[in-house]
Amino acid sequence: MVVDDFDGDGNPDVLLSGNDYGTEVGTGHYDALNGLLLKGDGKGNFTPLPILRSGIYIPGNAKALVKLRGPASSYLLAASQNLGPLKLYELKQSPTQVSLNTDDVYALLHFKDGRVEKTEGYYGESFLSQSARFLSIGKNIAYIEVFNTRGIARKITP
């Protein structure tokens, strides 16, 4: 899964990929999910979007889901499948992006309404895969504090 602000509203959304064909022979395949986008409302609630609205369709034996940067900083999602094609999706409107340095660990997103949200920059977050290290910034972000491994912060104003 990838958690990010896919629509630029400042709220985290969740994208899931999740079939598994590597189960015991007697169990059979876990094969009931074709990818799912859950739209967040910023209050901890999520609404599932149908495939026709989200544009996400990931059938087959899912293995990894990562976010990438494409040409001109476009936002791409790559979904790999065992013995299946690599699926690549591009957001229609790429959100504003802030790059993370190699030693950055986490960021505090300060919203215009006073809320603060902590997000981490991971290494190796999917099955033998790694997302690009950037943050998506919605319109309701006032500023960001990014902290490195030494605890030193840098402030970014979008």
Output the average pLDDT for the chain: 88
Q: Which domain holds residue 11?
A: 2-156
Percentages (nearest 5) of helix, strand, coil residues in the chain: 5, 45, 50
Domain total in the chain: 1
User: Strand, coil or helix: what is 54?
Assistant: helix
Give per-residue pLDDT as tens, 143-156.
999 999 999 999 99
- Quick one: which of 152, 141, 62 has its CA closest to 106? 152
Alpha carbons 135 and 95: distance in angstroms, whole number: 9
* Phi, psi angles (nearest 5°) of residue 105: -110, -45
Q: Which of 46-50, 89-93, 109-113 has the lowest mean pLDDT?
A: 89-93
Q: Which of 13-17, 77-81, 91-95 has the lowest mean pLDDT?
A: 91-95
The pLDDT of residue 61 is above 80: yes
Q: State CA 88 to chain mean position distance.
A: 14
The pLDDT of residue 69 is above 80: yes
